[in-house]
Structure 1
Amino acid sequence: MTVYLTRFRLNPARVGARRLLGSPQSLHAAVLSSFAEPPRQRPDGARVLWRVDQPARSEVVLYIVSPDEPDLTHLAEQAGWPRTGGWQTRPYGTFLDRITADEVWSFRLTANPVHSIRRVPDEPTKRTAHITPRHQVEWLLNRQQDAGFAVLEKPEPRPDLPPADAFEVIAHSRKDLMFQKRGEQDTRTHQVKLSRVTFDGRLRVLDPAAFRRTLTSGLGKAKAYGCGLMTLARTE
């Protein structure tokens, strides 16, 4: 599998970086501009995914998983450190191919946990964000089997707490986004609302092939706006 993982550190002191971080549409466009040819989703489902992490107040990191190797020169010039910053791109496919069943990993996922509701019987369903961490975790647990993994259960779950609290995962850093998007079939603009939530936890691989698809094609909705990308780290 030919896939690349890229890490790029943004410089939040620069106007260009602040503009990109304040607009998921602009950052999406900047990521897609990193490829000489327009990225297309491959038959195996692999596509361009991206996520922004902020491990410290002054540190903001952009991660990209992509079928093709990106060139982030324009981002370094506009929103990074052009002379000393750069970016790191590594082949990701070899790592993915080595994933086997029953491996345990720590993971981070930023996603758009939503559900469809209907307030009256004849009304069309409406996509609505999950608000509470408990419902957000339940959203993830409901998708884990099809995604090829299982979030680990806590060694000693407390029976007096909701079932979602029995698992080694937390949902945090919820951020509500609102922006205007031009329609594909007309020139009118539409207001887009979405909620991004970050999950940190530990998982066990159940189905390596399905799990690889999750890592390269994303999980959930709003992938164009920084959602769906899961990354792994060795568990302690």
Structure 2
Amino acid sequence: MHLTRFRINTARQQARSLLASPQRLHAAVMSSFADALPSDAPGPRTLWRLDRNAKAEVLLYIVSEGRPDLTHLVEQAGWPTTGGWQTYDYRSFLDGLQPGGRWAFRLTANPVHHIRRKDGEPTKRTAHVTPRHQMGWLLARQEASGFRILETPPERRRLPQGDEFQLTVRDERRHDFEKTGEQGSGPQRVPLVTVTFDGRLEVTDLAAFRQTLTLGLGKAKAYGCGLMTLAQAV
């Protein structure tokens, strides 16, 4: 497994075109692998995420089984003479994780639920639209995903909200782009709502947690969702 980081040159027109479309960026990411398999193939899949830390600092993270070659991205959306990318051995990091370990984390996800507007109608996948429900979506998945989000010490909670968990949700983005449909069906419109979670967690189930880090969490993984990264907790 590999973890790759690439800084996007937001001043370039091709970079802005990629950033405007999760579909185009997904295609660019998958073009980094000569032997890329369809996204529904069994086994570890390629995950990616954009971190928009500032207007001029946008980072692309990729977790993949194979080692990527981002030469085309450097030429199209980077700094061809001075830029590059960094790829790290992710397997050794995963092997070093321990139950009870505490980490700061970041996750961009597509928090959705299924609703039925009228009796007899099929359920429809719908995005959560409030921070409280978006946080609830992640909290509902923590146990099965091998971690628990740490609670905020009582003396640090703000009233009347409470801030029970060390978790924030930010950078909600709404996308609406065109996707090539099944053979003969023509293009399809894809609405997508994404948010970024920052917080602190404790590893509770090592096998499940490693699976979360390599297979992703939630829906829309092809469009930049599901990749959780860790940093040393302060």
Task: Give aligned pairs, total.
Answer: 231
- Between 31-40 and 86-95, the greater mean CA deviation after superposition: 31-40
Q: Distance in 2 between matches of 1:113 and 1:134?
A: 11
Which whole-Å deviations, capped at 9, do the CAs of 1:92-117 have from their partners, x for residues lacking one?
Answer: 00000111100000000000000000
Structure 2: 5+ residue stretches without partners: none
2:177 to 176, 179, 198: 179
Tell me which residue corresponds to 1:124.
122
Which whole-Å deviations, capped at 9, do the CAs of 1:1-58 have from their partners, x for residues lacking one?
Answer: xx00000001000011001000111100000000011235675x42100000111221
Q: Distance in 1 between matches of 2:52 and 2:75?
A: 20
| Counterparts of residues 135-154 of structure 1 (less than 5 Å) | 135-154=133-152
Q: Normalization by structure 2: what TM-score?
A: 0.95
Tell me which residue corresponds to 1:110.
108
Shift in Å, 1:182: 1.7
1:193 matches 2:186 = no
Tell me which residue corresponds to 1:74.
72
Partner SS state of residue 166, structure 1: coil
Partner SS state of residue 198, structure 1: strand
Which whole-Å deviations, capped at 9, do the CAs of 1:183-225 have from their partners, x for residues lacking one?
Answer: 1242411111010100000000000110000000000000000
Amino acid corresponding to residue 92 of structure 1 in structure 2: Y
Counting aligned pairs with the same residue, the percent is 60
Q: Distance in 1 between matches of 2:123 and 2:184?
A: 24
Which whole-Å deviations, capped at 9, do the CAs of 1:115-159 have from their partners, x for residues lacking one?
Answer: 000011101101000001110000000000000000001111568
Amino acid corresponding to residue 79 of structure 2 in structure 1: W
Q: Distance in 2 between matches of 1:191 and 1:168?
A: 36
Amino acid corresponding to residue 76 of structure 1 in structure 2: V
Structure 1 residues 79 and 158: alpha-carbon distance in aligned structure 2, compared to 1, 3 A threshold: closer
Structure 1: 5+ residue stretches without partners: none
Q: Distance in 2 between matches of 1:147 and 1:99?
A: 15
1:61 to 59, 62, 79: 59
Q: Distance in 2 between matches of 1:170 and 1:158?
A: 14
Amino acid corresponding to residue 214 of structure 1 in structure 2: T
Q: Distance in 2 between matches of 1:93 and 1:34?
A: 19
Q: Distance in 2 between matches of 1:199 and 1:217?
A: 18
Q: Distance in 2 between matches of 1:161 and 1:17?
A: 40
Give structure 1 regions of 4+ aligned residues with deviation exceeding 4 angstroms.
40-43, 157-160
Partner SS state of residue 175, structure 2: strand
Determine if contact 1:39/1:48 at 8 Å carries over to the other structure. no
1:202 matches 2:207 = no
Q: Distance in 1 between matches of 2:89 and 2:105?
A: 19
2:10 to 5, 9, 12: 12
Tell me which residue corresponds to 1:161.
161
